[in-house]
Chains A and B, each alone.
Chain A
Amino acid sequence: MERKSRGSEKAQAPVDRGRRAFLKVATAGTAGALFWGKTAPLRADQGPSLSSLKWREKFIVPKPSQDDQISYREFQIDVQTTLHEILPGVKLHLLAFNGQVPGPEIRVKEGEWVKVKFTNKTELLHTIHWHGVDVYYEHDGVPWITQRPVMPGKSFLYKFQAYPAGTRWYHCHYATPFHLGHSMHGAIIIESDDDPILKTFQYSRDYTLVLQTFDTFFLKDEFNKMLERMKQRLWLMKHKKLDAKTIAVFKNVQEFLKAVEEGWMPPYLSERNQFREGADLTPNFFAINGKAYPLTDPILIRQGETIRVRLINAGELIHSLHLHGHQFWWVAQDGNPLLQPIKMNTLDIAPGQTKDIIIEGYNPGYWTFHDHITTRVTNNGIYPGGMLTLLVYEEMAEREGFKPMVSLDQ
């Protein structure tokens, strides 16, 4: 099957860490995995790498004149409208980073300087917020609070030192319910050589699963409404007629209150409503890395192998992910290692959170990994579909036994 989204392939491609180190004891419940090694931190936010960085260095951005003294990892990210296919027959016009759903995965080493040139190739306004990364505040990407939004056709240079290590992500913070739902999100993985999870589990493959929800009606309807408003605002901007009241942006609270006193009607008192029937989104498609079951990419594993799966909830809903046939280790919350791994088989993940799990390959077969809020294992109301993927043992190809079929309506 041809995959249109380059993003899903790239993001889903496992990172072979070059050391296919199989654990001596490949079964679950090994004593060694119960506690971190000797270097285990007392508090999760004090990673072992903290000492290697100077505090001042981390939170101050070099001036452009100092740029040549620093070796940056440079990335080019733009936002454009793309026609993305979640499933055959379900195509959506989406705002997407580099035209990929989800956006490209950024992998950097902790402490590395990162420079992202962000270009807006749409007719709407955008920013990039680095979710869970400790950046200098002017590079946090919150429109009007830390920066002006990036105007159509314009660019913004985000610079920060990657810290702390862990599974983090980035997304557009302009009109967030809409732009985030439009798949303007991607993973930023900050790696560390001192990663206690890596040291403890010696995992050999690393997967990133971005969980997404799509309300197809809302996305399309609000897209049209936004384009309509933006068309008019851009005209006003071009002719220097756009004022604070029209775009509803003020210098401070006093200015806003003054405008109200002068008779300006704030938008929340107008009869316009961004959401359907009140304030709720009702997603009808659920996806992992841009695809819904049965097009979700499987997670591959071999017997005796340990893999790391990084879960990022970029959608609007809480998910309760359940893996069949295995007890996995929950090892990190929001990118930060837990004090102690927890053994479980069903993990809940709220919007905005990231959670890392370690799966040990001790039970060969085909195992589903899915949201146990089962109405989300649906495609437009039809079960099964949506947020479901498979954990597949590679050696199963040569083995006898039941081979998975594809079911779309039960």
Chain B
Amino acid sequence: MELKTTILLITLLAEVALLIGLWATWKVPALQIWPPPSGKSWQFWFNWGLFPIVYLGVGLLGQLDSNGLALPSVVRLEFGLPLVILGLGISLWGVAALGIRRSTGLPGTFRVVGPYRCCRNPQYVGIIATFLGYGLWTASGMALLTGILHALWYVFAPFLEERTLLQRFGEPYRRYLETVPRFFSFRKKTFQPITLTFLFLLGGILGSSSTSLFAQEVVPRLTLGGRGLVSWNYGFLTTADGDLVRTSAFGPTDDFSDTHILLRLDKKIYGINKNQVAGTVLGFTLTDPESPAGPVYLSQAHFFWWGRSWEFLIGRTRLQNFLIEFPTLRDDDLLDYAFVRNPYISGDASEFDLYGNVVRVSFFQNKARFMETFQVASLVKAYIEQPPTPELSGVQMFSVEFAYRLPEPLRFSGLFRKIGIRMDLNPPEEQLTSWRPTLTGGLDVNLTQNPLANWRLRFQVMYTPGAQTIQPAILSQNTTEKSLSVVASLSFLKSPYQVPRLFATLTGAYRMYPDIDAWQRKIIAGLFYQIGAGIDVGVQYEAETVSESFQWVLHSWTSQAIKVLFSFEYETMFNAYFTDRETILNLEHGFAP
């Protein structure tokens, strides 16, 4: 008997045994073959003795029996391979979110984290995709057969798990069952990372397969960009007694948050007098240390379509919940002062404040001068990422913005880089019983138009009358109280011979809450030196003082931090055949020019 036939038989036997285990547990729950009762039980070793055989078997069959099926290369390389990569990615993300112990089926606490917020079985979805994709990729009939048979196990296993988990966790789990789909769903009002990723993949497959099948379309342009940002943070706190103590995150611990990678595929839409481009963006950002959003956040997954004077965007991207972007090291350094925060969350995940699923329409008016734009409206509708318990759905923010904006290439050639107003409206939902409007106005001024030594002033004022809440204690007062926030920033950019070199900035922010007689203020000073294009070293000092009137502050306190940083950013384009409106790096926060 041939080697591969032997392996096929062994693998099939193991798979059937595993399926019988499931079927037996379904009929006789007391058997508890899956999920196993403990790590030392025979049930645990029954499953985990057979799983490796199956994995190894399918893997080997794919190699020994490859090219057995006459599949077109489009299916193999543009459908199979992406499925494997995507499937592995999703399952690893699931394992990372849940932990290895609970991923093996052993009991643990109930947590809704990472991909589990929008899919009850992301690991299984990933593994099914991997097995299917692997069979297609290797074009092996044996790998495909064993893969599909094993995929059946992952389709049935959740039913057993749900029964067990319902007994174990009771009501919270029942709510979870009702709100989050078993695998994935397209019907949910809110977008889900997994659905979005699948849509992205589907778009890619359609795009690339049409290119290869008919060879008539122009290959899309590919833009890759990203930034590596690492800092050592030295934080201090002033206690009630006036003592200065180090914070827990003091010292040479690498803080990689805001490091991101962005990938964009887009195409020019040809046609008479048609100057349009459409494409899709996928981006991942490393989150703040210990963020509830998990270690890696899917910050960009959207489709866009733009013409000469308009832009349409749908999907996950950075929210435009601010008017002026301030030159701070991290995107959330001025979270309380410069952004319209999400009133529905009380946790510490700044990602939920900064990113969201958006439907956005923008209009530009080209003035007589080349490339000059005038933005008349943007962000008419936005969904903000929901808090960890997925109970909120629907539109959480409506926004409109009117702004005059100087295009980036001509940034020194006018007095105002940006001047505008915007209004954001949070509808009453969940804890809020009234609308919360926020009015923002601001400007970004070139104090000198000297491109070699540019002084720049940024200013933003934000007012909200607050919102009425059912249980004020649950939500942060920062977001629900009446407040007025002012941020101003002065920066200086030295660019000898028109090459940016030295960037110094001083930013002050103050926010007052008249109704509760509270306030908070922050000062940020930064000094960045560009050692090469896109490569910076720098230091940022920040000091924040919060008054004692907040519900969560027992006494007024001051925190300070010194951050030493290194940053690298780069962008490159393949198959460039049309020009850009803006750099892809503008999708994320940047601190230096």
Interface residue ranges, A against B (CB under 8 Å): 88-89, 216-217, 220-221, 224-225, 227-229, 231-233, 235-236, 239, 241, 245-246, 248, 264-265, 270-272, 276-277, 284, 381
Given contacts A224-B371, A239-B450, A245-B497, contact A231 B577 (CB under 8 A): no
B270 at the binding interface (Cβ < 8 Å):
yes
Counting from the closest, the 7 A-B pairs by CB-CB distance are: A232-B451, A228-B409, A271-B533, A89-B272, A221-B579, A231-B413, A220-B579
Binary interface encoding of chain B residues 428-463 relative to chain A, with 1 for a CB under 8 A from any of its CBs, else 0: 000000000000000000000111100000000000
B100 at the binding interface (Cβ < 8 Å):
no
Asked if A241 and B497 make an inter-chain contact with CB atoms under 8 angstroms apart, the answer reads no
B410 at the binding interface (Cβ < 8 Å):
yes
Asked if B532 and A241 make an inter-chain contact with CB atoms under 8 angstroms apart, the answer reads no
Q: Which residues of the partner chain A approach B370 to less than 8 Å between Cβ atoms?
A: 227
Name which residue of chain B comes closest to A409, CB basis: B216
Chain B's nearest CB lies how many Å from the CB of A85?
10
Chain A's nearest CB lies how many Å from the CB of B254?
26
Given contacts A89-B272, A245-B497, A246-B498, contact A235 B451 (CB under 8 A): yes
Since A216-B578, A225-B409 are in contact, a sample of 20 more A-B pairs with Cβ atoms closer than 8 Å, ordered by chain A residue number, is A88-B272, A89-B270, A89-B271, A89-B272, A89-B273, A217-B577, A220-B578, A221-B579, A224-B371, A227-B410, A232-B412, A232-B413, A232-B451, A232-B498, A235-B412, A241-B452, A265-B497, A271-B534, A276-B576, A284-B577
Chain A's nearest CB lies how many Å from the CB of B499?
6
The contact of B410 among A228, A272, A276, by CB within 8 Å, is A228
Given contacts A89-B270, A217-B578, A227-B370, contact A235 B450 (CB under 8 A): yes
Q: Which residues of B217-255 are within 8 A (CB) of A?
A: 218
Binary interface encoding of chain B residues 510-539 relative to chain A, with 1 for a CB under 8 A from any of its CBs, else 0: 000000000000000000000011100000
Chain A's nearest CB lies how many Å from the CB of B270?
7
Chain A's nearest CB lies how many Å from the CB of B587?
20
* Most chain A beta-carbon contacts within 10 A, residue among B271, B410, B532: B410
Asked if A246 and B272 make an inter-chain contact with CB atoms under 8 angstroms apart, the answer reads no
Name which residue of chain A comes closest to B408, CB basis: A228
Q: Which residues of the partner chain A approach B271 to less than 8 Å between Cβ atoms?
A: 89
Given contacts A88-B272, A246-B497, contact A217 B450 (CB under 8 A): no
Q: Which residues of the partner chain B approach A89 to less than 8 Å between Cβ atoms?
A: 270-274
Q: Which residues of the partner chain B approach A228 to less than 8 Å between Cβ atoms?
A: 409-410
Asked if A217 and B579 make an inter-chain contact with CB atoms under 8 angstroms apart, the answer reads yes
Q: Which residues of the partner chain B approach A270 to less than 8 Å between Cβ atoms?
A: 499, 533
Q: Which residues of the partner chain A approach B577 to less than 8 Å between Cβ atoms?
A: 216-217, 284
Main secondary structure of the interface of B (DSSP, over half): loop
Asked if B579 and A224 make an inter-chain contact with CB atoms under 8 angstroms apart, the answer reads yes
Chain A's nearest CB lies how many Å from the CB of B583?
12
Asked if B498 and A227 make an inter-chain contact with CB atoms under 8 angstroms apart, the answer reads no
* Most chain A beta-carbon contacts within 10 A, residue among B450, B498, B576: B498
Asked if B452 and A231 make an inter-chain contact with CB atoms under 8 angstroms apart, the answer reads no
Name which residue of chain A comes closest to B495, CB basis: A232
Cα separation A381 to B270 with both chains bound (whole Å): 13
Cα separation A221 to B576 with both chains bound (whole Å): 10
Cα separation A236 to B218 with both chains bound (whole Å): 42
7 examples of A-B residue contacts, CB within 8 angstroms: A89-B272, A216-B578, A217-B578, A220-B579, A232-B413, A235-B449, A246-B452
Cα separation A235 to B272 with both chains bound (whole Å): 38
Q: Which residues of the partner chain B approach A232 to less than 8 Å between Cβ atoms?
A: 412-413, 451, 498
Cα separation A228 to B576 with both chains bound (whole Å): 20
Q: Which residues of the partner chain B approach A239 to less than 8 Å between Cβ atoms?
A: 450
Cα separation A241 to B448 with both chains bound (whole Å): 13
Cα separation A246 to B498 with both chains bound (whole Å): 7
Q: Which residues of B459-515 are within 8 A (CB) of A?
A: 497-499
Cα separation A265 to B136 with both chains bound (whole Å): 54
Cα separation A231 to B451 with both chains bound (whole Å): 9
Cα separation A236 to B495 with both chains bound (whole Å): 13
Asked if A224 and B272 make an inter-chain contact with CB atoms under 8 angstroms apart, the answer reads no
Cα separation A381 to B450 with both chains bound (whole Å): 44
Binary interface encoding of chain B residues 254-276 relative to chain A, with 1 for a CB under 8 A from any of its CBs, else 0: 00000000000000001111100
Cα separation A284 to B410 with both chains bound (whole Å): 28
Cα separation A276 to B574 with both chains bound (whole Å): 10
Cα separation A31 to B532 with both chains bound (whole Å): 70
Chain A's nearest CB lies how many Å from the CB of B62?
36
Given contacts A231-B413, A264-B497, contact A236 B451 (CB under 8 A): yes
Q: Which residues of B330-380 are within 8 A (CB) of A?
A: 370-371
Chain A's nearest CB lies how many Å from the CB of B500?
11
Cα separation A232 to B446 with both chains bound (whole Å): 13
Chain A's nearest CB lies how many Å from the CB of B497?
5
Given contacts A217-B579, A284-B577, contact A231 B272 (CB under 8 A): no
The contact of B412 among A225, A227, A231, A272, by CB within 8 Å, is A231
Q: Which residues of the partner chain B approach A381 to less than 8 Å between Cβ atoms?
A: 218
Name which residue of chain B comes closest to A225, CB basis: B409
The contact of B576 among A217, A227, A231, A245, by CB within 8 Å, is A217
Cα separation A235 to B498 with both chains bound (whole Å): 12
Q: Which residues of the partner chain A approach B371 to less than 8 Å between Cβ atoms?
A: 224, 227
Name which residue of chain A comes closest to B270, CB basis: A89
Q: Which residues of the partner chain A approach B534 to less than 8 Å between Cβ atoms?
A: 271
Q: Which residues of the partner chain B approach A236 to less than 8 Å between Cβ atoms?
A: 450-452
Chain A's nearest CB lies how many Å from the CB of B39?
55
Name which residue of chain B comes closest to A234, CB basis: B413
Cα separation A8 to B274 with both chains bound (whole Å): 25
Q: Which residues of B388-438 are within 8 A (CB) of A?
A: 409-410, 412-413
Cα separation A241 to B497 with both chains bound (whole Å): 11
Name which residue of chain B comes closest to A381, CB basis: B218
Name which residue of chain A comes closest to B497, CB basis: A246
Asked if B409 and A227 make an inter-chain contact with CB atoms under 8 angstroms apart, the answer reads yes
Name which residue of chain A comes closest to B454, CB basis: A232
Binary interface encoding of chain B residues 530-574 relative to chain A, with 1 for a CB under 8 A from any of its CBs, else 0: 001110000000000000000000000000000000000000000
Name which residue of chain B comes closest to A272, CB basis: B533
Name which residue of chain B comes closest to A271, CB basis: B533
Q: Which residues of the partner chain A approach B409 to less than 8 Å between Cβ atoms?
A: 224-225, 227-228
Chain B's nearest CB lies how many Å from the CB of A171?
23
Q: Which residues of the partner chain A approach B218 to less than 8 Å between Cβ atoms?
A: 381
Chain A's nearest CB lies how many Å from the CB of B507?
26
* Most chain A beta-carbon contacts within 10 A, residue among B272, B410, B578, B579: B579
Asked if B450 and A271 make an inter-chain contact with CB atoms under 8 angstroms apart, the answer reads no
Cα separation A354 to B270 with both chains bound (whole Å): 35
Q: Which residues of the partner chain B approach A277 to less than 8 Å between Cβ atoms?
A: 576
* Most chain A beta-carbon contacts within 10 A, residue among B218, B451, B534, B576: B451
Q: Which residues of the partner chain A approach B272 to less than 8 Å between Cβ atoms?
A: 88-89
Q: Which residues of the partner chain A approach B273 to less than 8 Å between Cβ atoms?
A: 89
Q: Which residues of the partner chain A approach B576 to less than 8 Å between Cβ atoms?
A: 217, 221, 276-277
Cα separation A216 to B533 with both chains bound (whole Å): 27
Chain B's nearest CB lies how many Å from the CB of A270?
6
Chain B's nearest CB lies how many Å from the CB of A290?
19
Q: Which residues of the partner chain B approach A224 to less than 8 Å between Cβ atoms?
A: 371, 409, 579
Cα separation A241 to B498 with both chains bound (whole Å): 12
Chain A's nearest CB lies how many Å from the CB of B98?
44
Cα separation A233 to B497 with both chains bound (whole Å): 10
Asked if A241 and B450 make an inter-chain contact with CB atoms under 8 angstroms apart, the answer reads yes
Q: Which residues of the partner chain A approach B410 to less than 8 Å between Cβ atoms?
A: 227-228, 231
Q: Which residues of the partner chain B approach A216 to less than 8 Å between Cβ atoms?
A: 577-578
Asked if A235 and B413 make an inter-chain contact with CB atoms under 8 angstroms apart, the answer reads yes
Cα separation A245 to B497 with both chains bound (whole Å): 6
* Most chain B beta-carbon contacts within 10 A, residue among A89, A228, A277: A228
Name which residue of chain B comes closest to A276, CB basis: B576
Q: Which residues of the partner chain A approach B270 to less than 8 Å between Cβ atoms?
A: 89
Cα separation A229 to B449 with both chains bound (whole Å): 13
Q: Which residues of the partner chain B approach A231 to less than 8 Å between Cβ atoms?
A: 410, 412-413
Cα separation A364 to B581 with both chains bound (whole Å): 52
Asked if B532 and A271 make an inter-chain contact with CB atoms under 8 angstroms apart, the answer reads yes
Chain B's nearest CB lies how many Å from the CB of A263?
10
Cα separation A18 to B534 with both chains bound (whole Å): 66
Name which residue of chain B comes closest to A215, CB basis: B577
Chain B's nearest CB lies how many Å from the CB of A266?
10
